[in-house]
Amino acid sequence: MHQVASIFHAISLPRIDFHDDLGNHTRCLPLLLLWHIFFWWVATAMAETKFQKLGRRSPSEYSLEVEDCCMFGNVISWHPLKLTICWLVLLILLTISYSSKEPDVEGEALIDFLKVLNDSKSQISDWNYNLVSPCFSWSHITCRNGNVISLSLGSKGFSGTLSPSITKLKFLVSLELQDNNLSGVLPDYLASMAQLQNLNLANNNFSGSIPTTWGQLPSLKHLVLRGNHLSGTIPDSIANITGLTELFTGTRLTCDPGMEQPCVSRPPLPVSTRKSKLGVVVTSASCGAFLLLSLGAMFAYLHHYVHKLKHDVFVDVAGEDDRKISFSQLRRFSLRELQLATENFSESNMIGQGGFGKVYKGVLSDNTKVAVKRLTDYNSPGGEAAFQREVQLISVAVHRNLLQLIGFCTTSSERILVYPFMQNLSVAYRLRELKPGEKGLDWPTRKRVAFGAAHGLEYLHEHCNPKIIHRDLKAANILLDDDFEAVLGDFGLAKLVDTKLTHVTTQVRGTMGHIAPEYLHTGKSSEKTDVFGYGITLLELVTGQRAVDLSRLDEEENVLLLDHIKKLQRENRLDDIVDGNLKTYDPKEVGTLVQVALLCTQNSPEDRPTMAEVVQMLRGVGLADRWAEWEQLEEVRNQESFLVSHNFPWVEETTHDPEAIQLSRAR
């Protein structure tokens, strides 16, 4: 008898606390049911086998003494079949009790939040109230330990406002609602979200002032509010948040009186460079895995805390002229390190070449992949000191759509910059250089790239002091991160522009077809030079074609993409404009991008919009009026061009000087 009992005890079930948070997930119950049935079947089989070997009666011929059967207390004699029935009854009762539990609080909160956001375009279609938990399959949500920690709803076309129901997400760490049309005032109730670290409300229509109560957000690290209609001051309470590392207002806000330069810089604060990416806990695999994940999370947090690195706070407020620049976040590499990383700058590792030098893929000693740009023809009158000053200015241009500089290397003969490696390479690659089986760019991604590049350029022009002119914006210089978001590269490598001076260069840098006419003729660059390049890049996104294509000479005289598009636009041949690789697209959105592109590529820089205006026009604000003006001017220009060509047939009809077709060269 005791030998039989020992067999069952040897493989007895682990104790499970059904009051634990994980036990509340009723989808664990079917697995538990199957496990218990399997358990008793194996136990019985083992007992049968053992007693057959011993030549004794099998356990089915008499009862067993099992302690605490089904947690009912005393020692009871039970047959294995009865024990199985006991477990089945218990699980049925548990299922009934759990089925009557209250609806998921976070799920209800998210549904209410979405209603107030006004999802008129039905961008979010898989938030199903009938599902067990939003962590199970809802999109745009990240969960940890069964709780929603991240909500990413940028660029969804929402036109409503914020709802207090968001405060029911007690564990929310990141809230991203940028690039929508949300309106209203910034709500005070967000101050109750103690876990919130990242709040991005950029490029909406919020108005009023920043609530002083937001200074009560103890965990806040990143606050992005640019592109709204805010007024007033930046509250002292926000500027003094201990962990705040980035504050992008992007509007003409001022600092509270008595604040000692809080909008300029703060002392270095400890911030880790590690990014924790914990996925949704899949409880259906095994309920016991929850304990392991909890221990792992605790270990990761301790490791995160111990290995912190110092980082400067970068606070961006438009109009600030006195910004301190810190060099502490950049790493200075030795030439030997980069030689080892790139296999001595091997041609097999070269992934790009442009007007500023060659780019190599490299792998550092810690297995970090990097892009190493080896500058050529670098000639600074100030030598190494001047180079470091330029690098410092580039390093503080921190924006989601700008490629962040990691470090640099300088010797008597070398000037090298080190950037993170973008696995998805560039927009140009995804448009025209794909290998078989690789993913191209669908229309939503192209539209997102257009917005991202515009935001990055706007930041360089409006919020950097001195402002930074890119001077070589093209699809090849727009990189794609892991989420296929646009990241501008090669910015700041041209001379930085002083806003109080006219910037005249002695060398024209750029790519044929992207160079603005006035830059080519005079050597003078400005923000409007970049606007022209951005317009050409929009046309590349829509058509998938190069800015200059000599193969068009077989059918027409226009080798420049801009002239080709103008011709098709006059003939209302929209379908011929769109890239043939696009299976689906929105004709209205295509029309918007083409109109913005043509406004950006007008011959006169004074007629071109600023990048801030471009961002608004991409959202449909002010585009109709500007386009009507353009059509009137274009009609006049066409008439003048016809008269000139009729009276002087030797005059070449083109919107560009023929020199624009030539490669960038010294002047």
Last residue of a domain, one of 369, 393, 421: 421
Triad 562, 566, 569: Cα angle to 5°: 135
| 579 in the same domain as 536 | yes
| 247 in the same domain as 142 | yes
| 564 in the same domain as 636 | yes
Report the pLDDT value the prediction gives residue 569, as an integer from 0 to 100: 81
**How far is C-alpha 411 from the geometric centre of its chain's CA atoms?**
35
Q: Encode 281-305: b = buried (16+ Cβ within 10 Å), e = exposed.
A: bebeeebeebeebeeeeeeeeeeee
Report the pLDDT value the prediction gives residue 530, as an integer from 0 to 100: 92
| 610 in the same domain as 549 | yes
Q: How far apart are CA 62 and CA 615, in angstroms?
A: 82
Measure Cα distances from 396 to 247, 348, 389 in Å.
13, 32, 11
Residues 313, 265 contacting (CB under 8 angstroms): yes
* Number of compact structural domains in the chain: 4
Where do runs of H (alpha helix) occur along 148-260?
236-239
State the pLDDT confidence band at 17, using cuts at 50, 70 and 90.
very low
Q: How far apart are CA 263 and CA 315, in angstroms?
A: 6
Angle (deg, nearest 10), helices 527-543 and 561-570:
60
DSSP 3-state assignment of 329?
coil
Residue 429, in any domain of the structure: no
| 244 in the same domain as 137 | yes
Q: Percent of the chain scored above 70 by pLDDT?
A: 61
Q: Which of 582, 559, 562 is nearest to 570 (CA)?
A: 562
Last residue of a domain, one of 74, 99, 124: 99
Residues 148, 135 contacting (CB under 8 angstroms): yes
Q: For residue range 364-410, list pLDDT tens digits in order.
A: 988 899 999 888 755 555 566 667 777 877 787 888 899 888 888 88
Report the pLDDT value the prediction gives residue 72, as an integer from 0 to 100: 40
Residue 150, in any domain of the structure: yes
| 480 in the same domain as 520 | yes
Residue ranges making up the domain that contains 26? 2-99
Q: How far apart are CA 560 and CA 126, in angstroms?
A: 44
Residue 22, in any domain of the structure: yes
Report the pLDDT value the prediction gives residue 149, as an integer from 0 to 100: 92
| 600 in the same domain as 507 | yes
Residues 127, 140 contacting (CB under 8 angstroms): no
Residue 302, in any domain of the structure: yes
Mean pLDDT of 115-120: 88
Q: Which two tokens stand for residue 205?
A: 């229509």
DSSP per residue, 211-222: -GGGGG-TT--E
SS3 content of the chain, % helix, strand, coil (to 5): 40, 15, 45
Q: For residue range 417-449, list pLDDT tens digits in order.
A: 999 999 889 999 999 888 888 888 999 999 999
| 125 in the same domain as 22 | no
Mean pLDDT of 148-162: 89
Report the pLDDT value the prediction gives residue 614, as an integer from 0 to 100: 94
Min mean pLDDT across 165-179, 283-297, 364-378, 399-413 is at 283-297
Q: Which two tokens stand for residue 60?
A: 């089915």
CATH number at residue 578: 1.10.510.10
Triad 437, 441, 444: Cα angle to 5°: 140
CATH number at residue 384: 3.30.200.20
State the pLDDT confidence band at 294, using cuts at 50, 70 and 90.
low
- CB under 8 A, 24+ apart: contacts of 270-274: 270/308, 270/309, 270/310, 270/311, 271/221, 271/243, 271/245, 271/308, 271/309, 271/310, 271/311, 272/304, 272/305, 272/307, 272/308, 272/309, 273/309, 273/311, 274/304, 274/307
Last residue of a domain, one of 316, 343, 363: 316
DSSP 3-state assignment of 151?
strand
Residues 480, 422 contacting (CB under 8 angstroms): yes
| 523 in the same domain as 375 | no
Task: Give catalytic residue positions.
Answer: 472
Residue 666, in any domain of the structure: no
Q: For residue range 187-224, list pLDDT tens digits in order.
A: 999 999 999 999 999 889 999 889 999 988 988 988 88
Q: Percent of the chain scored above 90 by pLDDT?
A: 22
Q: For residue range 448-494, list pLDDT tens digits in order.
A: 999 999 999 999 988 887 788 888 888 988 999 888 999 998 887 65
Q: Examine the pLDDT at 262 and tell me if it is beyond 90.
A: no
| 47 in the same domain as 184 | no
Report the pLDDT value the prediction gives residue 533, as an integer from 0 to 100: 93
Count of alpha carbons within 13 angstroms of residue 149, beta-carbon side: 15
| 475 in the same domain as 387 | no
Residue 517, in any domain of the structure: yes
Mean pLDDT of 547-559: 74
Q: How far apart are CA 651 and CA 647, in angstroms?
A: 9
State the pLDDT confidence band at 120, using cuts at 50, 70 and 90.
confident
Residues 304, 276 contacting (CB under 8 angstroms): yes
The chain-wide mean pLDDT, for the chain, equals: 72
Looking at per-residue pLDDT, the higher value among 347 and 254 belongs to 347
Q: Is 373 annotated as ligand-binding?
A: yes
Residue 533, in any domain of the structure: yes
Q: Examine the pLDDT at 565 and tell me if it is beyond 60.
A: yes
Q: Which residue has the tokens 């930041």?
A: 459
Residue 607, in any domain of the structure: yes
Looking at per-residue pLDDT, the higher value among 508 and 613 belongs to 613
Ramachandran angles phi, psi of 315, nearest 5°: -105, 120
Most trustworthy range by pLDDT among 50-59, 105-114, 241-250: 105-114
Residues 420, 371 contacting (CB under 8 angstroms): yes
Assign residue 55 a region (left: φ > 0; alpha: ψ between -120 and 50; beta: otherwise).
left
State the pLDDT confidence band at 45, using cuts at 50, 70 and 90.
low
Q: How far apart are CA 572 and CA 568, in angstroms?
A: 6
State the pLDDT confidence band at 8, using cuts at 50, 70 and 90.
very low
Report the pLDDT value the prediction gives residue 434, as an integer from 0 to 100: 82
State the pLDDT confidence band at 361, using cuts at 50, 70 and 90.
very high
CATH number at residue 173: 3.80.10.10
Report the pLDDT value the prediction gives residue 33, as an integer from 0 to 100: 55
| 120 in the same domain as 257 | yes
